[in-house]
Amino acid sequence: MRNKLGPGTTLSYCTNVHPTVDLHSLVDQLQKHATEVKDLASPDEPLGVGVWMPGEPNNDRQMFRQWVAEGVDFLLDRPHRPVRELGEWMRSAGIEAVTANAFPYRIFHGEVVKHRVYEPDWSSKHRVAYSVGIAELLACITPMQESRSVSTLPLGWSRGVGRDEAITREAAERLRDAAVELSDLGLWRRAPFTLDLEPEPGCILDTASDVIAFFDKHLPDEIHRKHIGICHDVCHAAVMFEDQREVIRRYAEAGIRVNKVQISSALDVDVRTIGVDAAIEHLTQFAEPRYLHQTGFMTDGQFELIEDLPEAIERLEAGPSAGPIPDRLRVHFHVPVYLDHIGPLGTTNDQIAEAVAAAREYHDTKHFEVETYAWGVLPEELKRDTLAEGIADELKWVLKTCGQSDS
């Protein structure tokens, strides 16, 4: 889906919504779901997808490790048969890989994921191998001379000042190494590759101020800024109560590029209006055990981040004795972007168009990706007859809300 959000843009959906463990299962999932999404949302032109595959699949682990170990020449000159077959099948099916997600390194659809999604952090050498390996995979299945973005975690989960400082120093070194490898890969493929940090609530980098300070100190050189950038997740910024346009403007002012925007929506609860009891009742259905649902409290202009939704609900249930009752709260739960409200609960989908417009204005961002990975853990009444119907309606909503002409 090209040029729909402005000239040169691509719109895709992220395949981390599918329980993939290796290339074979990725093909199976695309055949099962993406082809239906294409029929529903993009029947007359290729459908864009953002590729995700774990670095430690349950099956065929050796194959992925061999790709990343043998490097660029191996992948580009003599790609494994599954890689070649994936690219050929995608072209024949009218499905384009236009970006990639290398945030979740491990299996993303287990019974309990929670903090495991941040492991290993960027102090690990495995992050470089995995991220560059995903970029190499993307290079094999996308057209020559086309820019490619790979989103990744914002260093790691915050573990306290001392530990964060150690992780940050090592992570910066790993990222600088990755920038060099991506530069070499880009020269070989005659197209730029970027690795884009995705700020998330509770991580070492979870606000624009954190990001800017990190880049200023650790990634000051041209090669760093060319190949390391930002993936701006709309839901994440909303949970932190950051202004979408202002954050994106500040990145541009600091010389940090937003190469990718993940289009997503958080739960938004006006506690003062609906009351604490109603907030607790309706939030409880979202307190599921698989994913971490960080919750931002805003009270009299003061922000507080609660690590997970069950803890936030406990705070509300305990009343003022446990801390101030927030005027408003937002939950890191990626709900379908076309939903304005869910019962008395609101959503932050009204911030999406502003984020898309700001990214285009300040960064000429090309890659936009719908990333509602939580379909499998949504309350039953919010699920659709098929996963593809939900994803297709999200894409159609984005086109209607944010779309531009092809010219």
Secondary structure letter of residue 157 according to DSSP: B
DSSP-assigned beta bridge partners for residue 303: 298
Cβ-in-10-Å burial (0-12, 13-18, 19+) of 60 comes to middle
CA distance 135 to 122: 16
What percent of the chain is modeled with pLDDT above 90?
A: 79
Query: Does position 225 have pLDDT exceeding 80, yes or no?
Result: yes
Residue 311 or 192, more confident: 311
Topology of the domain comprising 10-265+349-402: TIM Barrel (3.20.20)
Q: Which residues contact 82 (CB under 8 A, 6 or more apart)?
A: 23, 24, 63
Task: Flag whether pLDDT at 58 surpasses 60.
Answer: no
pLDDT at position 104, please? 96
pLDDT surpassing 60 at residue 136: yes
**Arithmetic mean of pLDDT over the chain:** 91
Grade residue 22 by pLDDT with cuts at 50, 70 and 90. Answer: confident
Please report where in the chains the tokens 């606000």 appear, as a residue: 207
At residue 83 the predicted structure's pLDDT band, cuts being 50, 70 and 90, is: confident
Residue 61 has pLDDT above 50, yes or no: no
- Compute the average pLDDT of residues 306-332: 96
Computed over its alpha carbons, how large is the radius of gyration of the chain? 20
How far apart CA 116 and CA 305 sit, in angstroms, is: 19
pLDDT tens profile 339-392: 999 999 999 999 999 999 999 999 999 999 999 999 999 999 999 999 999 999
- Mean pLDDT, range 319-336, rounded to an integer: 95
pLDDT at 73 over 50: no
Dist. CA 154–CA 228, nearest whole Å? 11
Contact status, residue 207 vs residue 199, Cβ threshold 8 Å: yes
CA dihedral for 238, 244, 248, 249, sign (positive or negative): negative
CB 150 within 8 A of CB 102: yes
Is residue 126 scored above 80 in pLDDT?
A: yes
140 pLDDT above the threshold of 90? no
**Rounded to an integer, what distance in angstroms lies between the CA atom of residue 257 and that of residue 33?**
32
Distance between CA 71 and CA 185 in Å, rounded?
Answer: 10
Q: Is the pLDDT of residue 79 over 60?
A: no
pLDDT at 24: 81
Residue 145 is predicted with a pLDDT of 62
Query: Which residue's structure tokens are 């446990």?
Result: 322
Indicate the domain borders of the chain.
Answer: 10-265+349-402
